[in-house]
Chains A and B, each alone.
Chain A
């Protein structure tokens, strides 16, 4: 009676939402992580203005991810969030501080440095927490009868600390290549200068994670080293993207480093997805077992087919409105 494999379709939609979030909020979180190291206060003004008109929309993809999971895979939602309880709190606290910093920093006079720290600290904590979530997902969750039964800090292991650091490095790279694209002069020079060291950091951490992952989980190990050899195309593509970043920074291209960094993220993400497929709550539940009712998935899908293209269209339009180089004195403040 069920015409389509809706859970499968929903897995693609949620997957799309997650990568949209990672790419879009990734660069503005990255700008926040790099904030304390900027050459001067005016550079910080410019950095903030480069993301101020769009960050709110970027972050909305996270809210969509949360609501979408509840709608399509409630089991994932109701196992991940309790399992990552403390991490989720840190993530949210980080997002609160950096979110209000956008408004408060320009209103502050003597206390501006405090909001610099709120922005940088909030972005860093949020990025680290997201990386740790990825690590926890690879690691798996202790469940019984569809309910989380592990402890409060099971997610915090050396492995998740490493994935957290990986996310910090990755988002910083997105941030620095974004700044190459959006700024000019001394700030852009600075962004060019830090991009290659950040790329090196990303490659080292991603390399470590890749070596470590097969030891964390058997399923991943089997998949990598036995039946699915075509999987190896993804790390090759990732390295090609990394080479492209290197080449385009050397050649002082402005748009290409950012595009190539997005490519790096997409291929790494796909690598993660195929390694774990089709387990959404590893090691016990597949996406079909975690799915919500067929009618609910259908009801939301029909609406999304209409609405998401519109959302993408006006989001693209706002990026178009704010295209080109950004300067310190801009903004409505």
Chain B
């Protein structure tokens, strides 16, 4: 069998980006939550906030570590597997990604060190500042990366010369037509993810009766947050959809499973798209509702897949079903947010076992929603890498062979598999230990006497020797 470097590169990129995407979407939301907790701790000096912040910072550190290392891989993949694309789009994507590094990555990395290790080394105010900088960094990062992605979806502010993109207007390119919607959609998704994870974990602790005061506070905060942003996401998502209809009608046609451009198009609840015969099997739908949602008119015209040649159609079934998964999970999130409000009276939200169990399971829902959302938008633009201009086939590295692409694909799957398994395991351990003082510390202490070195931590003569060399040592830094 012939190994196709294009297909393998697509699988590889989809694998790496899907794996990577679940980390930032969580850490963006969590970083803001930690900053809020640090702010509350600073202002009220209530130890509960510090306890919560310290705990969630431990979770953050594990997840952020995996996000960083998987992100580094992505920044090199444009070059390794898509060098023609890199060469053609470098005039725009190069500066944008560089701005992401200098305005966001450095900020996150430097202040994360202070946030994790500096609580006893810097004044409380500076520690809070570090938390705010980490949170700010995550948002700046998503600003640039979504600008880059949106530009590939709705390219603007450029002209093509000899197959190379030249930027003619930076503001038009950065704030391209789909960018504001995509950015808002992702920002809200991050808050939803952070919110549901914190809510789910707090609910679990409440079910176990652990650290009730702190976890009740955490859950209450989350439920208020979710009550506003879960419905807001529905509205933003609708606007995003309308924007996609304007700029990428074929993608919307795939989301709706609509083959012929027509009026009174039903909203399909179930169908099996049959791309080979250009039709759906077993359709179940609500009459005219798709027209209504997309055009705000029962009689509105919805584009169909057949408007473009078959080879320019995305894989319809993936887009169609991913979209339904995303929307269904979104509706479920709204239901939980509203249920939280209804259970407010008498504080039942923190006692009702059904609700708390439900929240436990909901803590993974946003990850699936985010992944399916990205599937919709990324698979939906196939076969284009730069929409309507540069196809995936034109973008792949010319010297890449199927064997090489397969080797690294398997390599990344093995490496990520190991790292992810270990990461989830250690994350579970952090969650299991919870907010209480760590037991490890005691174990660590208990082990110490067994170690010959630890009793005499610092030999005396060296200590004295150190004394007069201190300035030289600090000068070295």
A and B co-occur in one complex: yes
Q: Are the C-beta atoms of B477 and A78 separated by less than 8 Å?
A: no
- Known interface pairs A77-B86, A255-B473. Does A104 touch B423 (Cβ–Cβ under 8 Å)? yes
A278 at the interface (CB under 8 A from B): no
Interface status of B457 (Cβ within 8 A of chain A): yes
From B62, B411, B416, B462, contact of A103 by CB (8 A): B62
Q: Could you tell me the distance between the alpha carbons of A114 and B361 in the complex, rounded to whole angstroms?
A: 32
Which residues 302-333 in A have Cβ within 8 Å of B in the complex?
303-304, 307-308, 311, 314-315, 317-325, 327-333
CA distance A148 to B443 in the complex (A): 55
Least CB distance, B51 to chain A, in whole angstroms:
13
The reply on A185 being an interface residue by CB < 8 A is: yes
Number of interface residues of B (CB under 8 A): 95
Chain A residues with Cβ below 8 Å from B411 are 89, 93
Kindly state whether residue A292 has any CB partner on chain B within 8 Å: yes
A200 contacts the other chain (CB 8 A): no
User: Considering the chains assembled together, what is the distance between the CA atoms of A40 and B164 in angstroms?
Assistant: 56
* B79 → chain A closest CB, angstroms: 3
Bound together, the chains give a CA A300 to CA B444 distance in angstroms of 49
**A250 interfacial contact with B, CB 8 Å:** no
**Which residues on B sit within 8 Å (CB–CB) of A77?**
78-79, 83, 86-87, 90
Q: How far is the CA of A228 from the CA of B466 in the complex (A)?
A: 46
Given contacts A43-B453, A107-B62, A299-B95, contact A66 B408 (CB under 8 A): no
Complex contacts, B416 vs chain A, CB 8 Å = 96
Interface centre among B75, B83, B113, B476 (most CB of A within 10 A): B476
In the assembly, what is the distance between CA of A259 and CA of B76, in Å? 31
Interface of B is mostly: helix
Known A60-B105, A96-B73; judge A318-B114 contact (CB<8 A).
yes
Interface size on A, residues (CB 8 A): 96
Residues of A within 8 A of B121 (CB): 321-322
Please indicate the chain B residues that have their CB under 8 angstroms from the CB of A103 in the complex.
61-62, 65, 426
- CA of A69 to CA of B87 in the docked complex: distance in angstroms? 11
Q: A332, B407: Cβ atoms under 8 Å? A: no
A-B contact pairs, 13 of them (CB 8 A): A60-B105, A68-B94, A70-B93, A81-B76, A81-B79, A88-B79, A89-B80, A92-B73, A96-B416, A292-B91, A296-B92, A321-B122, A332-B58
Known: A78-B397, A99-B69, A103-B426. 13 other contacts (CB 8 A): A53-B116, A57-B109, A60-B105, A67-B94, A70-B93, A85-B408, A86-B408, A104-B423, A107-B429, A107-B430, A254-B469, A296-B92, A328-B457
Question: Which residues of B are interface residues toward A (Cβ below 8 A)?
Answer: 54, 57-58, 61-62, 65-66, 68-70, 72-73, 75-76, 78-80, 83-84, 86-87, 90-95, 97-103, 105-114, 116-119, 121-122, 164, 166-167, 170, 397-401, 403-404, 407-408, 411-412, 415-416, 419, 422-423, 426, 429-430, 438, 440, 443-444, 451-454, 457-459, 462-463, 465-466, 469, 472-477
